[in-house]
Amino acid sequence: MKRFLNIPFIQSYFKDAGVLTIGNVIGMLITLAGYPIITRLYTDVEFGEFSVYQSIFIILISISSLHYNKAIVLTKGRKELNQLIRLILALTLTFCVLLCILNLFNIPQYFDLKLSTSIYWAIIIAVFLGTYHQMAHWFFIKKSQFKLIAILKVTERLSFQATAIAYSFLQWRFLNPLVLAGISSQAPIFFISLAKTRFAWQSLFQLKAKAIAKKYKYFPMYSLPSGLVERVSSQVPIFIISILASQAATGQFSLAYKILSVPEAVIGVSIANIFYKKVGELTSKNQPIIQEIKNCWKLLALIGFPVFTICLFLGPFIFNILFGNEWKTAGEITSIISPMLFFMFMSTPTSGAMAALNKQYYGLIFGSLLLVTRTSLLYFGISYYDLTTGIYLLTIGEILNILLYNYFLLKEAKKWERTHVQKSA
């Protein structure tokens, strides 16, 4: 182990990633500590409803600001920053009004997601709070307020766990308590963000948006479509299982997926940021990048293999001990999807190399491919056989897509090295 930690590229990743991960680590530890309690207070049906609510929320907040929030870090000067934030705020308010109109005409009910009208109204509130927090997040990055970002992350997780436990003891059920806890956890984040960005509300109705919108038009034109496809694709399993199986099955699948996603959320995201920075530096200096990609894969494999192997063979046992006998199905699903999550854990951090190579269109192509394969494989498996078959097909399709994506990644990296590294030499 000591020899492993002394390898230079591993030391560099852990050194940089350690600085970025602290908020995520604490937040995930809070989540892991709270879930064994929450799973004993709520049914798999309630978890299923909450999972569908979260999936809709994740998709809608990727639309609400048209991805202009990502342009905040690129602004030059206070005036331009203020104008862009006001534009995002105006877009968010308009989008929420549109969602209200759709809800008044009961349009969401046509999707047959088995959610109550009250949950759809809660989604609108969550979209506004979440988009505002998302906007403030990029503003805090712009201002290098990383400590505040970490504090907000921890605050949100603590608030959710505390309110979810507290609401379980209340007798009223006009709204799924987990959904209510999700909104309650966003409230303190919103008010802190509001205090830091209150200038955005000043002269909001005198906003001259045309110039600033035109300057950063590439975000809604290119970043939005690829981001939306990726978000929809990632949430498709929840929707398909909810429609074709049941909310209980959705809850079981959701818990298994969330637990297996912890390594990526805690470690993978931070390594992805460091990897993107390193590859960006290498490409700017016309230096080879393939070895860096392979080094990152080696590191992620060394970290992930023991974890996902344990989940593969002991999933049902672990879930029975941690979450109770009611979640035995989630443990069985964990055993099935562990190989898929292992490949995702290895591949996701290095996907940033495509952007560094200016090959962002691969994200849209493979996002669309994943959307089609996830939908068709799950639909075929569940409709003609059963839920287990659908999940097996999903796992196989996902692994094949990841291998194909990384084949093209190495192909593009080799092509780039031939045209840039050799010329500079």
pLDDT digits (tens, 9 = 90+) for 148-203: 888 888 899 999 999 999 999 887 677 999 999 999 999 999 999 999 888 777 66
Examine the pLDDT at 237 and tell me if it is beyond 70.
yes
Most confident of 17-31, 279-293, 350-364, 388-402: 388-402
The answer as to whether 388 is a domain residue is yes
Question: Do 374 and 403 fall into the same domain?
Answer: yes
pLDDT grade for 93, boundaries at 50, 70 and 90: very high
**Given its phi and psi angles, is residue 180 left (phi above 0), alpha (psi -120 to 50 degrees) or beta?**
alpha
- The number of folded domains in the chain is 2
Q: Could you tell me if residue 31 is inside a domain?
A: no
Confidence grade of residue 7 (pLDDT, cut at 50, 70, 90): low
Asked if residue 190 and residue 247 are part of one domain, the reply reads: no
377 and 412 in a single domain? The answer is yes
Confidence tier at 315 by pLDDT (50, 70, 90): very high
Determine the pLDDT at residue 19. Answer: 46
Q: How confident is the model at residue 398 (pLDDT cuts 50, 70, 90)?
A: very high
Say how far apart CA 387 and CA 165 lie, in whole Å. Answer: 30
For residue 346, give its domain range.
Answer: 1-22+237-418
Half-sphere exposure of residue 356, counting CA atoms within 13 Å on the CB side? 31
Co-location of 245 and 212 in the same domain: no
Read off the pLDDT band of 6 (50, 70, 90): low
Out of 149, 184, 216, a domain closes at 216
Comparing CA positions, the residue from 235, 229, 311, 308 lying closest to residue 268 is 308
**Average pLDDT of span 281-309:** 93
Residue 221 lies in a domain: no
* Residue 232 placed within a domain: no
Angle between helix 328-347 and 387-416 (nearest 10): 10
Indicate the pTM of the whole model: 0.87
Q: Is the pLDDT of residue 221 over 50?
A: yes
Q: Is 5 exposed, middle or buried (0-12, 13-18, 19+ CB in 10 A)?
A: exposed
Whether 314 and 264 map to the same domain: the answer is yes
Nearest-angstrom CA–CA distance, 150 and 200: 23
The confidence band for 1, taking pLDDT boundaries of 50, 70 and 90, is very low
Q: Which residue is listed with tokens 């809660």?
A: 122
Q: Give domain status of residue 131, yes or no.
A: yes
Same domain, yes or no: 212 and 128:
yes
- Going by pLDDT thresholds of 50, 70 and 90, the confidence category of residue 21 is low
Provide mean pLDDT across the span 12-37: 71
Which pair of structure tokens corresponds to residue 210?
Answer: 């045309």
Query: ∠ CA 274-26-350 to the nearest 5 degrees?
Result: 25
| 225 lies in some domain | no
Instruction: Among 216, 250, 267, identify where a domain stops.
Output: 216
Q: Are residues 270 and 384 in the same domain?
A: yes
CB 185 within 8 A of CB 129: no
Q: For 126-150, how does the pLDDT look when each residue is reduced to its tens digit (9 = 90+)? A: 999 999 999 998 888 788 777 788 8
Residues 77 and 107 occupy one common structural domain: yes
Cβ atoms of residues 46 and 172 within 8 Å: no
200 assigned to some structural domain:
yes
Whether 52 and 115 share a structural domain: yes
Per residue in 48-86, pLDDT (tens digit) is: 999 999 999 999 999 999 999 988 888 888 888 888 988
Domain end, chosen from 216, 251, 274, is at 216
Res. 356 pLDDT band, cuts 50 70 90 = confident
User: Based on the domain organization, do 138 and 192 belong to the same domain?
Assistant: yes
Over the chain, what is the mean pLDDT?
Answer: 88
- In a domain? residue 323: yes
Q: Are residues 302 and 386 in the same domain?
A: yes
Can you give the pLDDT at residue 16? 45
150 in the same domain as 91? yes
Token pair for 53: 């609510």
